[in-house]
Structure 1
Amino acid sequence: MHIVGILPARWASTRFPGKPLHLIAGKPLVQHVWEQCRRCQRLDDLYIATDDERIFAAAESFGAKVVMTSPVHPTGTDRIAEAVRAIPRATHIVNIQGDEPLIDPGLVDELAATMAADPTLDMATAANPLDPADPAVQDPNVVKVVTALDGRALYFSRSPLPYFRNAVPGLPVFRHKGIYAYRRTFLERFVTWAPSPLEQAESLEQLRALENGASIKVLPTNDTSPGVDTPEQAAHVEAILTSPTSSHP
């Protein structure tokens, strides 16, 4: 068993071109993510997967292992699958968003351990509990997930999910967090499948896995670390990192 963390880092971003190299507290954004993941205990190796020579050179300069991938992949999962072809030892892969500089290493380890412990799983991911009255429940940019009693995903949606016709005390809404762990054999199958109907309707690639019968474990987490999609969000993260009370290195 060989568990590999991969950070996809793409240059082109509609809202924030060159985002992975945007400096936050003196370091490129992707370096912050990489340094957090270096603290993980359950990863046997860690790579950055990019489509750009500038990111490749920067990653090598701060000591990361890097894999160059095609710039034309339709999804991040396709980029991960290409990168894995250059890592033949990998049996399990954790796809860690390259724009979450405050990601909790403990969550990455929990995903890796979950996949390693259960051979019936194809994938694992994470979700934050929300109060059903939270405005985020109505926000289509916030993806929700519902699970079976054993914690496996039943459905992901941009719509409010579930619909509370009746109040159920203690039942939260779960906000999906975009981190995934895969079994290598499943990842290689996944990228051969055509985009599925529900995936196309919701623009959520994880629905392709469910529509093809995959088993996805959803881990509840209190890690609400913010991602960086805009320069304003980068400034917010920098304020957190440079705060005198910050626990981040």
Structure 2
Amino acid sequence: MKIIAVIPARYASTRFPAKLMQDLGGKAVIVRTYEAAVKTGLFDDVFVVTDSDIIYDEVVRNGGKAIMSKKEHESGSDRIAEAVEHMDVDIVVNVQGDEPFINKEPLADVLQVFKSDFARETDLASLMMHITDEEDINNPNNVKVVVDQKNFALYFSRSVIPYPRNKEAGVRYFKHIGIYAFRKHALLDFYNLPMQKLEASEKLEQLRYLEYGKKIKMVETSHAGIGIDTPEDLEKARKLL
């Protein structure tokens, strides 16, 4: 089973323009993320895929592997799918470019899903974290997921799911952590299938997979990741480094 990591990297960012090129201990954030992915030792290869000459040149200049997107893309999945379409790979892991402090353990747990999936039930695997704070549960920026008895995703939403009509039912709430591992065929299906209404409404690309009948296995983790979305996050990352 050949497993690769792909890091989609856009130069533009609404909240923090050019965040991936910001200095983090003498190297750009995207270079730190690339090196962290390689250092896990989990992947047969690691690539950055980008629409930016600036990011491409920075990764290559630091000894990394980068691929230029040929088309404009609406999502990270689309960008990754174009990059791997003609590669001989089995599993593709989407690593977020703004997370230079990659934790090996949850990535290994996600990959174990496929290594133990002898019936090939799973098309994608991803992470979820138990949340209890009401503000976190109600925050639309926190994507929630509900799962079945085998931890396959039933639905993702920015809304509170399930709705707590009976607060004594003992429901656990889970926040989706956006690390994905795909079987290559599932990723290419996504790339070639049009967006449907649920994805368009919630602006969540994982809903396209569910709408077309793909099975997403969720793995519970306690590692939320450390992303750099704002200048304040960058300052925290510099202190942490």
Common topology (TM > 0.5): yes
* Cα deviation digits, residues 62-91 of structure 1 (max 9, x gap): 2211111136101111000011135x2211
Partner of 2:88: 89
Contact 2:85 2:188 in 1 (8 A): no
Q: Which residue of 1 aligns with 2:180?
A: 180
- Normalising by structure 1, we get a TM-score of 0.91
Consecutive unaligned residues in structure 1, runs of 5 or more:
242-249
Q: Secondary structure at the match of 2:7?
A: strand
2:169 paired with 1:147: no
Q: Give the whole-Å Cα distance in 2 for the aligned partners of 1:17 and 1:163.
A: 36
1:246 equivalent in structure 2? none
Query: Which range moves more in the overlay, 2-11 or 97-106?
Result: 97-106
Residue of structure 1 equivalent to 2:108 = 109
228 and 91 in structure 1: CA distance in 2 versus 1, 3 angstrom threshold:
same
Q: Could you give the per-residue CA deviations for residues 194-246 of structure 1, whole angstroms, max 9, x where no partner exists?
A: 111111111101001101111000011111222111112111221222xxxxx
Provide the residue aligned with 2:65 in structure 1: 65
Q: State the Cα distance separating 1:4 from its structure 2 match.
A: 0.5
In structure 2, the gaps of 5 or more residues are none
Contact kept? 2:7, 2:94, Cα under 8 Å: yes
Percent of aligned positions with the same letter in both sequences?
38
Counterpart of 1:38 in 2: which secondary structure?
helix
TM superposition shift of 1:12: 1.3
Structure 1 distance, partners of 2:214, 2:224, is: 26
Q: Which residue does 1:9 correspond to in 2?
A: 9
Q: Is the 8 A contact 1:95 1:179 kept in 2?
A: yes
Q: How many residues align?
A: 239
Please say if residues 59 and 66 of structure 1, whose CA atoms lie closer than 8 Å, have aligned partners that are also in contact: yes
Quote the offset at 1:168 in angstroms.
4.9
Q: CA deviation at 1:115?
A: 2.2
CA distance in 1, matches of 2:130, 2:209: 23
In the alignment, what sits opposite 1:38? 38
* TM-score, L = length of structure 2: 0.94
Calculate the aligned-residue CA RMSD, in Å. Answer: 1.5
Answering whether residue 126 of structure 2 is matched by residue 125 of structure 1, we say yes
User: Is the deviation greater in 168-177 or in 203-212?
Assistant: 168-177
Structure 1 stretches of 4+ moved >4 Å = none
**Matched residue SS, 1:214:** coil
